């Protein structure tokens, strides 16, 4: 926690500082309507912000996975349209939330133009603001654990199946670009976690310095 560096008078974000969410500088929907790997890499370091009735919460994305529109057997959309995967076939910039292993939920941001069936899975993030709100849903766990792992992230932010099709370019839910984009050396690439098919594809991207990454 809290490499709360003050270098030259510019403050970096930390969990203890005030952080004003600003939809005006968030990624527009067109940002997501691009090749999935580009979007995945660009999301590292970006801040997911959700406004709620009782406040708002924010966390810095540090681990994502790409699920490609073509040649990716691990993609839920690989076998075509279904009621579950319907959100993935809309245009980029909305949520695809699915249930897995009984209890859990996983959150994806849909990518590429309409009809492609692609998304980026949000796997882990560092809490920046609204920690109490995250804890209310996640329980009393260390801060770096709050959004470590896709189901934990989904639970902490209170995402559920009803959030399918929800825009991530709205005033109540959006993603802000990184204040400081991570350097190329900071970004690590690996096979995706937990997939049975498409194990050979290197489509997991994470920040190697982050304590919130689910597995090195």
The residue among 170, 162, 149, 135 whose CA lies nearest residue 50 is 170
Q: 170: how many CB neighbours lie within 10 A of its CB?
A: 14
Site membership for DNA, residue 194 (CB under 7 A): yes
Give me the least distance between CB of 57 and DNA, in Å please: 17
136 binds DNA (CB under 7 A): no
Q: Return the closest-CA partner of residue 1 out of 10, 9, 13.
A: 13
Least Cβ distance, residue 47 to DNA (angstroms): 20
Q: Does 210 bind DNA (CB under 7 A)?
A: no
Phi-psi region of 57 (alpha: psi -120 to 50; beta: other; left: phi over 0): beta
Q: Report the SS3 class of residue 154.
A: helix
127 counts as binding DNA under rule CB under 7 A = no
As measured in angstroms, the least distance from the Cβ of 142 to DNA is 11
Q: Which is nearer to DNA, 13 or 112 (CB)?
A: 112
Distance CA 12, CA 53 (A): 27
The H or E element spanning position 135 is helix 131-138
Q: Which of 37, 56, 104, 135 binds DNA (CB under 7 A)?
A: 104
Among 85, 111, 176, 210, binds DNA (CB under 7 A): 85
Scanning 26-34, 42-50, 52-60, 67-75 for contacts with DNA by CB under 7 A, the matching segment is 67-75
For residues 15 and 1, the answer to whether their CB atoms sit within 8 Å is yes
Binding region for DNA (CB under 7 A) out of 19-27, 46-54, 83-91, 129-137: 83-91
Residue whose entry in the numeric block shows the structure tokens 């639970």? 155
76 binds DNA (CB under 7 A): yes
| DSSP string of 48-82, one letter each residue | EEEEETTEEEEEEEEEEEEE-SSS-TTSGGGG---
Tell me which of 111, 152, 176, 210 binds DNA, using CB under 7 A: 152
192 binds DNA (CB under 7 A): yes
Binding site for DNA (CB under 7 A): 65, 67, 74-77, 79, 82-85, 88, 96, 98-104, 106, 108, 119, 121, 141, 145, 148-152, 161, 192-197, 214
């Amino acid at each position: 926690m809290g490499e709360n560096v003050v270098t030259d008078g510019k403050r970096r974000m930390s969990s203890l500082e005030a952080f004003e969410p600003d939809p005006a500088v968030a990624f527009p929907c067109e940002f997501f309507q691009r090749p999935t790997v580009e979007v995945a890499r660009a999301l590292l370091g970006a801040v997911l912000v959700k406004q709620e009735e009782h406040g708002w919460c924010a966390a810095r994305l540090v681990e994502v996975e790409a699920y490609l529109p073509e040649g990716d057997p691990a993609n839920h959309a690989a076998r075509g349209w279904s009621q579950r995967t319907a959100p993935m076939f809309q245009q980029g910039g909305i949520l695809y939330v699915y249930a897995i292993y009984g209890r859990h939920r996983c959150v994806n941001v849909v990518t590429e133009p309409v009809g492609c069936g692609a998304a980026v899975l949000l796997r882990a993030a560092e809490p920046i603001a609204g920690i109490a709100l995250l804890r209310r849903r996640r329980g009393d766990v260390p801060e770096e654990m709050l959004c470590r792992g896709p189901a934990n992230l989904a639970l902490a932010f209170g995402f559920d199946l009803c959030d399918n099709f929800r825009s991530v370019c709205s005033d109540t839910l959006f993603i802000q670009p990184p204040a400081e984009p991570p350097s190329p050396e900071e970004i690590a690439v690996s096979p995706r976690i937990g997939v049975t098919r498409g194990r050979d594809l290197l489509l997991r991207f994470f920040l190697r310095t982050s304590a919130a990454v689910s597995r090195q």
